[in-house]
Amino acid sequence: MQKAVSLIGGVALSMMLASAAGAASFQDSMSKCLVKNANPKDAATVMLQCTAAGGKLTGCTVISDSAPGKGFDKAALCVAEAMDLGDKSGEVKVPMRFPGGA
């Protein structure tokens, strides 16, 4: 389940993994979101449009989902709630790739 979700591109998403404790917590959140909402064996790509403020993403909406109706939209929204963006702010697009096979 360690490889449940990987994120690609976006607004400096690597900054959200600033500490080892934060990285472990974020990985746990990703795994929980995926298992709760979608089949981890399936693959999908989801694009979110969000507002970044105060280190968090708010007001996220799904603008594309390569596997509609399979719960990856809900998984992506759940993952977005757990993201820590540091001091980033403004409107952002957040691409997420769920590789499947877990």
* pLDDT on residue 22: 55
Q: In this structure, are residues 91 and 48 in contact, taking their beta carbons and an 8 Å threshold?
A: no
* pLDDT on residue 1: 37
* pLDDT on residue 14: 38
pLDDT in tens, 55-76: 899 999 999 999 999 999 999 9
Q: Which residues of the chain have pLDDT under 50?
A: 1-21
The CA angle 76-31-99, to the nearest 5 degrees, is 65
For residue 84, CA distances in Å to 26, 49, 96 come to 9, 16, 15
Full strand arrangement of the beta sheet holding 44-53: 6-7, 90-98, 44-53, 56-65
* pLDDT on residue 23: 61
Residue range 6-98, CATH number: 3.30.2420
